[in-house]
Amino acid sequence: MEAPVYYSKAEFIETDTGNKVSRRATIAGPQNIILGGKTIISSSAIIRGDLRRTGPGHAVVISLGRYCLVGEGCVMRPPYKTYRGNFNYYPMKIGDYVHIGANTVVEAATIGNHVVIGKNCVIGKFTIIKDCAQVADNTVIPPNTVIPALALFAGSPGYNPEGILVGRFVEDLPESTQEMVESQTKQYYSRFQPLDR
């Protein structure tokens, strides 16, 4: 069993459903954000729930499932485009058991269940990430990419020893990825413990 990850009790707000949200995170437009429960929003993360579709009424901008982790310094920003002359933001949907590493910028349209995204990544606009896919640390995923289920993507224009110019398919992940990620994300949540001092 791995050691617990302690956080200061004063910094985090815990909701009835077990979400733990840092007071140091910037949550814009909280009424447009849904957290599924037992999801952790780390400090200095930025979640832009205010960038909503134009038009009247209530709109869900960003929804996260259960047992998710938004790492420190992450930016979650809904994707936008100009379609037939109209500029608009589009909602971002994230499934259960999704971990997003520190300092990653996410502008994906859909992220499935059991997805692990590394540190310092850029997930381009309207990216679709299917179930059990993974993105390695320091990867740049260009806009409109589709990451199929159980695929590992890596690569960035800045660091490309093998000439990989953008994040793309590297290998298939093992068949037991789903169970692995599920137990890892659950374990992380239970390890994430308050410390009064």
Please report, as ranges, the residues that interact with other proteins according to CB under 8 A: 1-8, 11, 38, 42-43, 71-72, 84-85, 102, 114, 124-125, 130-132, 142-146, 148-151, 157, 162-166, 168-169, 174-180, 186, 190-191, 193, 195, 197
- In whole angstroms, the minimum distance from the beta carbon of 80 to other proteins comes to 13
Return the amino acid letter for 20: K
Quick one: which H or E segment has residue 128? strand 128-129
Q: Check: CB of residue 76 under 8 Å from CB of residue 93.
A: no
Closest to other proteins by CB, 31 vs 190, is 190
> How buried is 180 (Cβ within 10 angstroms: 0-12 exposed, 13-18 middle, 19+ buried)?
middle
Closest to other proteins by CB, 10 vs 31, is 10
Q: Check: CB of residue 173 under 8 Å from CB of residue 154.
A: no
- In whole angstroms, the minimum distance from the beta carbon of 42 to other proteins comes to 7
CA 97 to chain centre: 10
- In whole angstroms, the minimum distance from the beta carbon of 27 to other proteins comes to 19
Q: Check: CB of residue 188 under 8 Å from CB of residue 2.
A: no
Cα dist from 146 to 125, 130, 160, whole Å: 11, 8, 21
Closest to other proteins by CB, 52 vs 125, is 125
- In whole angstroms, the minimum distance from the beta carbon of 44 to other proteins comes to 10
Closest to other proteins by CB, 13 vs 195, is 195
- In whole angstroms, the minimum distance from the beta carbon of 21 to other proteins comes to 14
